[in-house]
Every structure is written in structure tokens, then in C-alpha cells.
């Protein structure tokens, strides 16, 4: 039966989103004779009809190698409440009926929600309002349960590892400590895996608190053994044992200017003081979200897009596409968002890192 | 108990081999107080004591981002027989006792064999001669059973997909058919996955024979719909329905010069004749084996190296490290080399490709 | 005075063309209040009004990092004659008046012709018909006189050098001769400079004919000194002393299938026979024209685009933008296309290559 | 006449240094029968005989694609004075005679000094002490007079432009201001050229002071015209009109921890406050010095290495190799280091940037 399906991308952007969109559009139009409707700027689009438009083959031409998402995205969260100014006061209004009306009006039979934990939770709320939904997992941080991995993470790793390679070549020529700050506020996967692949000496992640003294000891030991340099990778979310979290790089609207610099600057400054060595900081920031998606992410995103169509075909609403080994499978969204997938401080990856001579926090 | 372990890399080279070697050396020296002995040029090294040398931390410094293998490799196969010239005649002599003697003499307790199907089969022969062996799977072609994937394949895919991206930008400016020949004499994985990720229009692999007429029809249909170009990815091993295999690019020693060009040239020439369109051929050749390993391959290789040590520690000889989902596991080598892992012509990957509008042979 | 200017890109495509187009559009619209009209598919567009369309800021958004040309291009040559079928016979008709009429009709005051030697020659013919023209040099082969270099060449070099790096890592692990065929039918710059930068052992270019015997001697000498491999870079146009040119890779429409393979295959086959060594061939082909333009090419293309506007402003018609040292200058087109800029067989670059131990033809 | 020449690399490291070293070693050993002696860690090596060692062909094998310098480098400045602790007090001692003695003792006929302004000034001091010297210019910042450009700069540009490409793809998906801090404490070339090539909206360099208000106006104007994002590139040395310089990222040994963050953090925080927009900061830091040198830098470095030999051959001491257009020439070192080459605030490059719609400070 011919269907009209909507698609939206939510949360932080991620290389591979365009591969999913393209997969959904091609699979729907070329093989199923379905219509696809693009909803712009995440769930925001559901509240603004000007952000809802049909997607054709021309719209997805040439987007496979492009980062970002042609649909735009936001981090604003639920579309069911809206802030309204009334008599000079701000009021939160429930607009969920309006959302449902818009979806019905546009003739949308089901929505493909491409997003992380937050967006998938909202997808379930849409389900509860009677809007059929299927999920496609997206997280650059690799912190989503129930899928081996998702697209975006591999591209972010490539960017971080490439940066470590570059720091190596310059670090070797001087006597210095190089600190690289990578994404990972809630999970340390990027720091851990890029640290292993980029030959870091120290990896700092939030799952394993660190102490500056021990880091300095490790660097000092390397120095005595003749190593002219040390390289640290620090996830944004890393923090000292018993210490406060350090605020992130960049500034959010409204944040006071008083405190600049993130965990990278913090660690670099401490080490410089403690060891009397020069330190240099690199903050990758949004570089990690950018760039052309890697092969892995393009292929996985494309396969997830096709899987989303198959889930709709089977009316397996509330399910999310996932990767298990080499297979594309599905799981209930509910199950996938129960908790974040953190690095196991005593798992195989951390042990492997330690056997390779890397200090991982502690 | 302190051990002395040997390591050798066999078969075609592959990005990530150095990560394995480094993992084995670091894990053995830093954490186990074992010795590591490098055996050069694959199994050849077992017949030539000058090719056997201790590996220290200095030997593996800086090799993580480097392609190839610091130990060298050969494709020559079994070390148990040697060709000897005697009275002007060539004779094959069994030298397996000599191999065993050398291994004993060097005090090697177990050997880590890093290789594909062929090398792992020889590893089992070493086992039968009483030499303890553990395996680390290696295949750029992704054609080994019992592991989701192995290192090298991901890097090869990146090279092939990057090349397709480049061809796209130039193809779009002209009215042309671009043919790219990739590795894959015995399995079509590289062509299939890079074709999906690089947005190819036609993918030719040996698992699904093709007919020139149908390819030309597909290209012609695109032309009529306004597409100025078409891009084909052909695995070396692809061949026409009912037709002969086309010989490979390059030339082996002793091969007659009469027949040049591979499947790429063949297909390009046929299409040019059939459709009266310009065609251009790119033969990636050994580019696909080269270059700095991707993050994925470095991390997987490193973890496999550590796993090999754990297998030796557990005296789980005859086992091979493998990847299952996100876990490093092991399987009997015997089980892994029973048959090649081919693309399933009716599997999810091929179907996904077809849903994306790609013609996959046939 | 407000002007309406046309822009077209002619000849083979080249990374950086979009930078020129973007520069012309931005400089014209943002700072001069001029109109820009895009002419598609090179000079062909002058014969087909449907291929002539205004270019706005939206048209050039996001094109800076993209290879190819948003205007398309052809290699077909002059627009002043057209082949017409009349009574079953083909006839060449002079349509130059029609071209002039179209330009006048569209209100085009001057045309920016972005092209190589061939396209610039046609630009001069337009001048003779009374159409004001300025030139922007474009040649991936670096064979244009009167400009130090032009955009596209640097990107092509990066692709070729990156490929040589990859071949190195795999060549080192085996005992082999790797042959890489690069562009350069009429000038050997790409082979020469990428060969120097990629550490080739032998470079073959048309400016310095080679003999197979001497190549084999050089490889054999390396082999005896312990080098396990040799790497050759061959420009398409290279040919043996006293020998015939070898035909190119790929096939033009109508070309007989009988002869496949280019100079790379030829040399590889000869060496395999002569030295009894394995050889492998990589044919970069159109990879060299593709991909995102390098920084150098984007910046130079952008500056050339702005210079073209300044030339029109100064009514310096018949002039071509050029690079002299770090300066953007201009020269008469006529002067630039008098002859091709070839590699000087006795110049500094070839001597430098030879001092670095590279055999350059001969 | 056979000579023994020394070579040292001074100042910050730079991609392409290994190309120079390799060029000097190959050209000396293969073609001139000279000896080459490597002096480690810049001028420091002249005070420590253990840092002086012969360089052979094996030492330079495989170093062409590697960043950094196999000889190491320091930023410490003149080797002619040394700090000595005597009776608990620090004293500066003139050790220039010792340096001269060491050079004589090692039989060094002339030294190739590869360095920037600072190292070349010291080279002239060596000359005054009677040690023949030739110079090879090196500056990642492109701020050296008398050469069109030198190696390292092009690679740094590629890194910065690639980063801008990545930021673009993620910026487009959100409503945000992205700030990227690049090298350039004393000259703004990297920010200017990467900003042009990477399509930045605002470029901040020290040659043209900026005001936050005007930046905010420009961003706001873009926002009103519908652009969802803006991208700023800030050179480390950029500073507000009438304002103080902002301290650099990272920390030098002994520097107080009180003040973290550099110009990037500063600008991002101000804009966030002023426009109530989210901002994100990326600090490239030493990434820009790292990585495999680009083709341009490898080729130029190699040619400079050969030129240095020719200068020694001609006994043109006190001269420095340089690039003029496409030619390798030489100039007196003295002339090259008289002043820094700054961006001309009213020159062609800045004007081109402005015509492309970029705000360059002011």
C-alpha cells in the first residue's frame, strides 16, 4: 500500500545523516512508490508548516559525501510544549494536539526519527499521541545501547586520530606535552578509541577519574626513559578524582564570560606548573562533527535508511534499526534509551589500552 | 611463566599489520615480561635464521600509523618444502624438520601467525609438527569466515570510496562513463561496500555475473533521464554471464605480454562500443593495500595483538582472534578457513544496494 | 557603470573552477552591482539559449570545496561551426553570427572564459567577432605559458603523491615493481613533480624518451643494493626512444577494442619479462581531475576570479589573469597560448630529481 | 673537492624539514662524494658532541612523507652563550670558541642552517666566527622576506582549510557562530589564506585590528539575510582595536594558571554575550605544524636542499636559497631577515578577501 512518510533529524548533527535521508528517499520512491516528506530543524519542523516539504530524488542527489543534514536539526527538545509570551509573562503551553493535527493534515502515515537518546525519547512521545514512528539511531559519541555502533562515530574517530598523528610528528621534534581535547561529555568512547589508534600516552575519560599527580608521574617517567614528548587525549567530560567537572570550551548564549577554557586548558596548565614543561593544547571541538562521512558511516547510514522503510512496511512501529555484528536488526526504542552505553572501566578496551602502555585515568 | 613468542605476517600486505605487531610487542614486554621474536618475510623467515630477530620497544615505536608490515611478507606459501637444484634438475625437498629445529633452537614457545586463509592453513600445519600457534586474521578482501571483519578492509574501502568521490566530481562535468576497477578476485566486498558508499550506479562482483547489454541499458536509461554520467565499480574477479574471467592488471613474472588490461578496461571498451559514449578507466590496484591504516583498523589490529597474547597465556593454541559485534573473541582456526565468506547475492547488503538504485551485476 | 558579464568554463574539468565562478559572482554582485550570466557546457552554451542563465549568490553557495564546475564543460572546441545533417549528408556550417546574436540578445557586455590553451584560442576568435573577452587560465597539466602555475595542478599533484605514498607502504612489504600512470599527454609536469614528492625511483615523461633496458638496469641495481622494490611514475605521453607512442587508457567512442592498456601496462609488462619480477599497475586516470580543490587552488582560483572582474572594469579585453611569484598580473591571451610550457630536460627541476637519485627517462 | 658539511634545523618544526635533510644527504652522497653530518636539536647540537653524527642514505630512507625533523630542533636561540650555575648563582658564559672548536674538530667545512628569521640570524653569527654557512628558509607562518613562500606553510594551510570545511558542514545544520583559532602570532598569512580558501565570513589578523561590535554587526546582518551560521578565523596574534593582546593557548613552563584560553575563546565569549548566540571554539594549535608535508612542501624542500649544496659548491656562503616564481634562486641571508613579511592591509589578497564578502578585521 502506498504510504506517505515523514523524516526528521534531531539533536547534534553527525556525519551520515544525509546517507540515511538519501536511503529513505531512494528506497521509498524508486522501489515502493511511496512519498517522502522532509521535516526541517528536528521536531521544530512539526510546529511550523513552512518547514515541511516533499523530498524528491533531486533533493538527495550528491548528498552522500556531505556532512551535516540537509534537513537541519536543533537541540531544543520536545515539540509538545511551546513558550508563549502573554501579558509580558512567559508561559509554557501544551501544543501536542497541534503537532498531531499537522501530521494528519500533511497525510503523513509514519515518521522516521533519526536521532540520539533525547530525540528517540521524544519519538516515543509521538507514538503515545498516536503518530506511528520508527527510529534510526544517531550518536557521534557511541553512547547508545542496543546497537554495536552507529554512524558518525567512525568519522569523528578518524578526525581525532588524524589530529593525534599530526601532533605526534610535531611533538617528536620538541620536548613537550601535547593535550588534545575531544568530544565526550557523557561517555569516553571517542577519547578511548582515538587514543588507542593515535598512540596516545594518557587518556582521560569521565568513566575513570584522574589525578594530576599520577599523570605527571607517568609523563616524568617517560621523560626519564628518554621520550621527548607525551600526548594526552582528554574527553570534555573527564574530571579529576574528587574534583569538580570543568566547563566546556566555547560559550552558550547567556553564559558569563568569567570562565574560559575547558578540560584541555585545565590539564595543560596543571602539568606545565607541576613538571615545569611546555604544554600545548588543541581543542578539536566541532571538527569532530564535521567533514565528509567515512565509508563506514555512509554505508551504515544507507542501510539504516532502507531498514527504516522495511520497519514501516512491517508496521513495526516503535522499533529502531540497529547493527548487530554484520547484521541490520531492530529493537524497541524503549529498550535502547533506558541508559547510556558507557566505557566499562574494567572492560576489554580499557585493558587493551593499558596493555599497550597507555594510562587511562586513575 | 615467562615465554618467548614469535610473530610473522603472511600473504598480501594489509594496513593494520603493524598495529598487531606493536600490540604483541608492547603487551608482551611491558606487562608479561615475555620476549618477542620477529620472523621476517612470512613463513620464509622460518627457513633462514638471518631473518629471525628479537623485537624490542624501539622496533615498534612510531609504526602504528604506517601501512605495510615491518616484518615483511611473502605470498610463497608453505615453508615445509623447498625447491633445490640437484644435478641441473629441480627437486622439491621436505624441510619441515628443519623448520621445527629452527623454532626450537630459537627457544620460541609459540608463534603468532597473522594472515589470511592461506597463511592460517600453514599455521595449522605448524601445529601438526608440534609448534604451538595462535592466529590473527588478516584479509583486505573481508573474505574470511568467523570474524565480522578484519583490519585492512576498512582502509581499503576508504581508498576506494575516496576515489569514487573524486570520479564523481569530474564525471558530473562531462558526459561520460567512468569505470573503476577495485580488488576482489575471490569476493566482491570491496566493490559492493565502496560502491554503496561512493554512490556508484553499477557494481560488478564475481558473486553475481553481469551482461554487458543490461549494463548498457541501465546507463542509457540514466542518460535519458538527464544524468550526464554513470559510474561503475568492478571487482577484479567480476565476469560476464557465461563468459570467461578476464585476466588481471599488471603482469606476473613470466606471463606473456600479449594480453594487457583487466576487467575495467574490458568493460569500458565494450560500453564505449555499445553506447557510443566516452569511457574512462581507473585501476586502483595496490593503492588499496597502501596508506596509513584507518582508526578502525589500527584499533582492531591492536586489540587482536593483545588477544593473541591472552590466547597464548591460556595455551589456547590453534585458536584465532576474531571480532563478534563489539567483542574480541576466538575461534578454532580450522573453522575459520573452511570456506571463503562471499557476498550473498540475495542478502541484505545487495538488496540495500539495489534499493538505493544501484545495479549489482545480473 | 553597471555591466552584465558572462562566464563559461571550457576544456577538461579541473579542481578550482568553482572558486573562479564564485569569485566572479561574489565580486560582481556584492561590490560592483553587476549581473553575471552563466553559460553552460563551455562554448556549446553559446549556441543554445536554454544553457544560458543568470547566476546569483545562491548558485555559488557551498561550491568552493567542490571539484568540477557547476557550469559543466565540454571538449568539443569551437562554437562557430556546427555539423548539420542535410539530405543524409553531414555538412559543416558557420554559425558565428548566431553566437554573436545570442551574446548581444542576452545583453552580455563581456565574457570571462576560463580554460586552457584550446579554450583561450577560441576566446580570441570571439574577440575577433567583436565580443569582449577576458581569460582565466586553467590547466591541470601546468602546461600553459605566462603564468607560474594555475589552479587544478596542485590538487592533481596531491592525488598523485598520495597514491605514491600508498604504493610505497605496500611495495616495501613485497619484492615488486609498482608502476603508476599519471596524466600528462603533452607535458610531464605531474609525473615529474609528484615523482619528486612521492619519492619515485623512475619518472617517465614525454620530454625525455626512455629505453626499457636502462630502466631495467636501474631497477636491477636497486635490487642488488638491497632495495626490495622500485616505483615508477609514467606520464600518459611518455614513450620509448625511437618507439611509437602507446595509446591511452580507457576508450573513446568508436575506438576499436583491439588495443587495451596504456603506457603503464606497457612498461609493466616489459619489465616483468625483462627482469622476471612481479609488476603491478595503478592507473590514476580521472582521479587526478577530481576531488575537493586544495587550498592553493581555491585561493588562486578565487583571486583569478576577482582579477577577471578588474580586467573587465579596466576594459583590458584580450588579457588573461596570471600568477607571477606572489602577484596576480595579466598578459595578452595571445602571448600565453603561443606554445606549450614543457619540462626542460636540462632544467633545474629535472636536475634536482636526478640529484635525488631518480632516473628521469633517458 | 670532497667536503664535509653539517646540517641543522632550528626553531619551531615544520612539515618539509625532512625533505631538505633528505635532499642534502642524497645530493651530497650520491652525486658529490661529500660527507654529511647531522647536528641534532638545532644549535644546541653544536655544544654537545653526542648530538653530532654522520648521516647516511639509510638515515633518510622513508622520511620524505614524514612531518617534523629527524634531527630534532629547539627554540632556545643562540648557542654562543650558556647559563652556568656557579656558587648557587646563574651566570651567562660566552662559549662561542667552544662551538668553533667543535665544528673544526668534526672537520665540518660548511653548515646548512634550515630555519626561520631567528635561526638565520644565528647562522650569520656563525659566519662572523669564521664558520661558512648557507641558509634554507623555513617558516610555517610565511613571514620571511625574499622568498615567495617556503615549505610548511602550504601544509599548515591545508590543515586549517580542511578544518574550516568540517566546521562548515556542522555549522550549516545549527544556528551558531564557529570560531577557529589558527597560528599567526606575528603575521596573519595562515588566517588570511585559509579563510579565503575555507570560505570564512570573518578573518582576524594582527595586521588589521578588529572591533567586537563590527564583527557582531556583520554576523547579525548575515543572520537577518537568512544565513544560519557564521565562521570566524582568528590568528593567535589578532587583537581588538585599542585593546591588549590576548595571551596564547596552552601554557609555558612557569606561567601562572590564572589566565586560560586564547583569542578564540575571547572572541567567542564576547560574541555569545553580545548577540545571544551559541558559539563554539576550535583551537587548531600544533595540528598546523604536524602531519605529512603536502606535495608542494616536499618538492620545495627537496629543491632547497639541492640548492644548498650548489651554494656550498660555489662557496656562496651567507646566502640563502629562495623561491622566486618558479625558480630556485639565492639571496644574502642578511637581506632576508631585516624585517618580517606582513600582510599588507591594503594589498591584493586582503582586497580579494573583501570582494569575496569576507570581513577582514577593522
pLDDT tens per residue, range D253-263: 443 333 346 89
Mean pLDDT of chain D: 91
| Same domain, yes or no: A43 and A138 | yes
Apex C65 CA angle, C61 and C70, nearest 5: 60
Q: Is the pLDDT of residue C252 over 50?
A: no
Q: What is the dihedral of CA D126, D129, D134, D136, to 10 degrees?
A: 10
pLDDT digits (tens, 9 = 90+) for B171-211: 877 778 999 999 999 999 999 999 999 999 999 999 999 99
Cα B183 to Cα B248: distance, rounded to the nearest angstrom: 10
Nearest to D127 by CA among D307, D339, D337, D328: D337
- Looking at residue C326, the DSSP 8-state letter turns out to be T
Question: Cα distance from D194 to chain C (closest Cα, Å)?
Answer: 7
Query: Of the ranges A337-346, B302-311, D40-49, which one carries the lowest mean pLDDT score?
Result: D40-49
Question: Cα distance from D69 to chain C (closest Cα, Å)?
Answer: 16
Instruction: Report which secondary-structure segment, H or E, holds A349.
Output: helix A348-355
- Do the beta carbons of residue B282 and residue C289 sit within 8 Å? no
Question: Measured between alpha carbons, how far is residue D246 from residues A255, A272, D249, D278 in Å?
Answer: 20, 19, 9, 21
Interface B-C, measured as beta-carbon pairs within 8 A, has a size of 194
Query: The C-alpha cell of D165 is what?
Result: 570545511
pLDDT digits (tens, 9 = 90+) for C12-55: 889 999 999 999 999 999 999 999 999 999 999 998 999 999 99
Subunits in contact with chain D (3 or more CB pairs closer than 8 Å) = A, C
pLDDT digits (tens, 9 = 90+) for D192-231: 999 999 999 999 999 999 999 999 999 999 988 888 799 9
| Same domain, yes or no: B229 and B203 | yes
Nearest to C263 by CA among C213, C221, C220, C212: C212
Instruction: Choose from A62, A74, A173, A269 for mutation: most chain D CBs within 10 A.
Output: A173
Question: Any idea which residue has 627517462 for its cell?
Answer: C361
Instruction: Write down the pLDDT at residue C262.
Output: 84
Q: Is the pLDDT of residue A246 over 60?
A: no
Cα B147 to Cα B167: distance, rounded to the nearest angstrom: 32
Question: Measured between alpha carbons, how far is residue D2 from residues C137, D262, D302 in Å?
Answer: 46, 51, 22
Cα B355 to Cα C292: distance, rounded to the nearest angstrom: 28
Coil/strand/helix, residue A209:
coil
CA of B250: which chain C residue's CA is closest? C280
A244 pLDDT band, cuts 50/70/90, is: low
Question: Cα distance from A243 to chain B (closest Cα, Å)?
Answer: 31
Cα D211 to Cα D216: distance, rounded to the nearest angstrom: 9
B243 pLDDT band, cuts 50/70/90, is: low
Chain B contact present for A42, CB below 8 A: no
Chain D contact present for C158, CB below 8 A: yes
Task: With beta carbons under 8 A apart, name residues in chain B contacting A65.
Answer: 165, 168, 199
Residues of D annotated as catalytic are 141
Q: Is the pLDDT of residue D326 over 60?
A: yes
Instruction: Report which secondary-structure segment, H or E, holds B103.
Output: helix B96-105
- Do the beta carbons of residue D53 and residue D1 sit within 8 Å? no
Chain D contact present for C288, CB below 8 A: no
Instruction: Write down the pLDDT at residue C261.
Output: 63
> Would residue A333 count as lying in a domain?
no
Task: With beta carbons under 8 A apart, name residues in chain D contacting A174.
Answer: 12-13, 72-75
pLDDT digits (tens, 9 = 90+) for A29-67: 999 999 999 999 999 999 899 999 999 999 999 999 999
Instruction: Write down the pLDDT at residue A243.
Output: 61
| Same domain, yes or no: A242 and A101 | no
- Do the beta carbons of residue D236 and residue D263 sit within 8 Å? yes
| Same domain, yes or no: C135 and C162 | no
Cα A152 to Cα A299: distance, rounded to the nearest angstrom: 11
Pairing of strands D110-115, D4-9: parallel
The D residues from 290 to 309 touching A (CB cutoff 8 Å) are 290-292
Chain A contact present for D261, CB below 8 A: yes
Nearest to D355 by CA among C28, C27, C60, C56: C27
Question: Any idea which residue has 564546475 for its cell?
Answer: C69
B257 pLDDT band, cuts 50/70/90, is: very low
Question: Measured between alpha carbons, how far is residue A193 from residues A144, A150, A158 in Å?
Answer: 16, 15, 10
* Partner residues linked to A107 by β-bridges: none
Query: The C-alpha cell of B49 is what?
Result: 635464521
| Same domain, yes or no: B298 and B283 | no
Cα C17 to Cα D78: distance, rounded to the nearest angstrom: 48
Instruction: Write down the pLDDT at residue B211.
Output: 94
- Do the beta carbons of residue C229 and residue C176 sit within 8 Å? yes
State mean pLDDT over D138-145: 94
| Same domain, yes or no: C137 and C224 | no
| Same domain, yes or no: A146 and A271 | no
Q: What is the dihedral of CA A4, A133, A151, A42, to 10 degrees?
A: 80
| Same domain, yes or no: B81 and B175 | no
The B residues from 307 to 346 touching A (CB cutoff 8 Å) are 309, 324-328
Task: With beta carbons under 8 A apart, name residues in chain D contacting A18.
Answer: none
Chain B contact present for A26, CB below 8 A: yes
| ipTM score assigned to the predicted complex | 0.93
Instruction: Report which secondary-structure segment, H or E, holds B169.
Output: helix B153-171
Judge: A303–B27 Cβ closer than 8 Å, yes or no: no
> Would residue D137 count as lying in a domain?
yes
Instruction: Choose from B58, B195, B306, B326 for mutation: most chain A CBs within 10 A.
Output: B326
Task: With beta carbons under 8 A apart, name residues in chain A contacting B27.
Answer: 355-356
The whole model's pTM is what?
0.92
Judge: D255–A276 Cβ closer than 8 Å, yes or no: no
- Do the beta carbons of residue D68 and residue D20 sit within 8 Å? no
**From A26, A65, A168, residue closest to B356, measured CB to CB:** A26
Interface A-B, measured as beta-carbon pairs within 8 A, has a size of 122
- Total domains in chain A come to 2
Q: Which residues contact C188 (CB under 8 A, 6 or more apart)?
A: C203, C205, C206, C207, C208, C235, C237, C238, C342, C343
Cα B146 to Cα B338: distance, rounded to the nearest angstrom: 10
> Would residue D330 count as lying in a domain?
no
Query: The C-alpha cell of B122 is what?
Result: 600453514
Report the side by side order of strands in the sheet with B110-115.
B52-54, B35-39, B4-9, B110-115, B133-137, B319-324, B327-332
| Same domain, yes or no: B133 and B189 | no
Count CB neighbours of B109 within 10 A: 18
Cα C197 to Cα C216: distance, rounded to the nearest angstrom: 22
Query: Of the ranges A286-295, B218-227, C286-295, which one carries the lowest mean pLDDT score?
Result: B218-227
Q: Is the pLDDT of residue C244 over 70?
A: no
> Would residue A338 count as lying in a domain?
no
Higher pLDDT, D257 or B62: B62
Judge: A298–B349 Cβ closer than 8 Å, yes or no: no
Nearest to C271 by CA among C261, C259, C279, C262: C279
Chain A contact present for D219, CB below 8 A: no
Burial of D97 (0-12, 13-18, 19+ CB in 10 A): exposed
> Would residue A330 count as lying in a domain?
no
**From C174, C277, C290, residue closest to B13, measured CB to CB:** C174
Instruction: Choose from B148, B321, B352 for mutation: most chain A CBs within 10 A.
Output: B352
Mean pLDDT of chain A: 91
Q: Is the pLDDT of residue A252 over 60?
A: no
- Do the beta carbons of residue D49 and residue D330 sit within 8 Å? no
Binning chain B into helix, strand and coil, the percentages to the nearest 5 are 40, 20, 40
Judge: D302–C196 Cβ closer than 8 Å, yes or no: yes
Task: With beta carbons under 8 A apart, name residues in chain A contacting D66.
Answer: 169
> Would residue D259 count as lying in a domain?
yes
| Same domain, yes or no: D348 and D320 | no
Instruction: Write down the pLDDT at residue D277.
Output: 86
Judge: A290–D166 Cβ closer than 8 Å, yes or no: yes
Long-range contacts of C311-317 (CB under 8 A, 24+ apart): C311/C134, C312/C3, C312/C5, C312/C109, C312/C110, C312/C112, C312/C132, C312/C134, C313/C32, C315/C132, C316/C134, C317/C110, C317/C127, C317/C132, C317/C133, C317/C134
Query: The C-alpha cell of B178 is what?
Result: 567512468
**From D148, D154, D294, residue closest to C326, measured CB to CB:** D148
- Looking at residue A286, the DSSP 8-state letter turns out to be G
Instruction: Write down the pLDDT at residue D90.
Output: 82
Chain D contact present for A284, CB below 8 A: yes
> Would residue B243 count as lying in a domain?
yes
Instruction: Write down the pLDDT at residue C236.
Output: 94
| Same domain, yes or no: A172 and A285 | yes
Report the CATH number at residue B116: 3.40.50.450
| Same domain, yes or no: A12 and A41 | yes
Query: The C-alpha cell of D357 is what?
Result: 564578502
Subunits in contact with chain A (3 or more CB pairs closer than 8 Å) = B, D
> Would residue A167 count as lying in a domain?
yes
Pairing of strands A319-324, A327-332: antiparallel
Report the side by side order of strands in the sheet with D52-54.
D52-54, D35-39, D4-9, D110-115, D133-137, D319-324, D327-332
Show the domain range for B224.
153-289+344-360
Instruction: Choose from A116, A251, A291 for mutation: most chain D CBs within 10 A.
Output: A251
State mean pLDDT over D240-244: 73
Judge: D261–A257 Cβ closer than 8 Å, yes or no: no
Cα B171 to Cα B199: distance, rounded to the nearest angstrom: 12
Cα D358 to Cα D231: distance, rounded to the nearest angstrom: 10
- What b/e sequence results for D166-193 when a residue is b if at least 16 CB atoms lie within 10 Å of its CB, and e otherwise? bbbbbbbbbbbbbbbbbbbebbbbbbbb
Half-sphere CA count of A31, side-chain side, radius 13 A: 18
* Partner residues linked to B324 by β-bridges: B327
**From D165, D196, D355, residue closest to C31, measured CB to CB:** D355
Coil/strand/helix, residue B101:
helix
Report the CATH number at residue A200: 3.40.50.460
Amino acid at each position: 500500500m502506498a504510504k506517505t512518510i515523514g523524516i526528521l533529524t534531531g539533536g547534534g548533527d553527525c556525519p551520515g545523516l544525509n546517507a540515511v535521508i538519501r536511503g529513505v528517499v531512494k528506497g521509498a520512491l524508486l522501489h515502493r512508490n511511496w512519498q517522502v516528506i522532509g521535516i526541517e530543524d528536528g521536531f521544530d519542523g512539526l510546529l511550523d508548516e513552512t518547514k515541511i516539504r516533499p523530498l524528491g530524488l533531486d533533493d538527495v542527489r550528491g548528498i552522500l559525501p556531505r556532512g551535516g543534514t540537509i534537513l537541519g536539526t536543533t537541540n531544543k527538545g520536545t515539540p509538545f510544549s511551546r513558550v508563549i509570551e502573554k501579558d509580558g509573562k512567559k508561559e509554557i503551553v501544551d501544543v501536542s494536539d497541534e503537532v498531531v493535527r499537522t501530521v494528519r493534515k500533511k497525510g503523513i502515515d509514519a515518521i522516521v526519527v533519526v536521532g540520539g537518546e533525547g530525540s528517540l525519547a521524544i519519538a516515543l512521545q509521538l507514538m503515545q499521541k498516536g503518530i506511528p514512528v520508527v527510529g534510526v539511531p544517531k550518536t557521534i559519541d557511541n553512547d547508545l545501547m542496543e546497537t554495536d555502533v552507529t554512524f558518525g562515530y567512525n568519522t569523528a574517530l578518524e578526525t581525532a586520530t588524524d589530529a593525534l598523528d599530526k601532533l605526534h610528528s610535531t611533538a617528536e621534534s620538541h620536548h613537550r606535552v601535547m593535550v588534545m581535547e575531544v568530544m565526550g561529555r557523557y561517555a569516553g568512547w571517542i577519547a578511548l578509541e582515538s587514543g588507542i589508534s593515535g598512540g596516545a600516552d594518557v587518556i582521560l575519560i569521565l568513566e575513570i577519574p584522574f589525578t594530576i599527580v599520577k599523570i605527571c608521574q607517568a609523563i616524568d617517567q617517560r621523560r626519564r626513559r628518554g621520550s621527548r614528548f607525551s600526548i594526552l587525549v582528554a574527553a570534555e567530560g573527564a574530571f579529576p578524582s574528587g574534583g569538580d567537572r570543568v566547563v566546556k570550551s566555547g560559550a552558550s548564549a547567556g553564559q558569563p564570560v568569567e570562565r574560559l577554557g575547558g578540560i584541555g586548558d585545565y590539564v595543560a596548565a596543571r602539568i606545565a606548573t607541576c613538571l615545569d614543561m611546555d604544554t600545548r593544547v588543541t581543542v578539536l571541538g566541532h571538527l569532530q562533527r564535521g567533514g565528509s562521512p567515512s565509508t563506514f558511516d555512509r554505508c551504515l547510514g544507507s542501510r539504516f535508511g532502507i531498514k527504516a522503510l522495511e520497519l514501516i512496511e512491517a508496521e513495526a512501529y516503535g522499533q529502531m534499526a540497529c547493527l548487530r555484528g554484520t547484521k541490520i536488526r531492530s529493537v524497541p526504542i524503549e529498550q535502547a534509551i533506558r541508559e547510556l552505553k558507557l566505557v566499562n572501566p574494567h572492560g576489554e578496551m580499557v585493558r587493551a589500552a593499558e596493555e599497550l602502555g597507555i594510562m587511562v585515568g586513575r
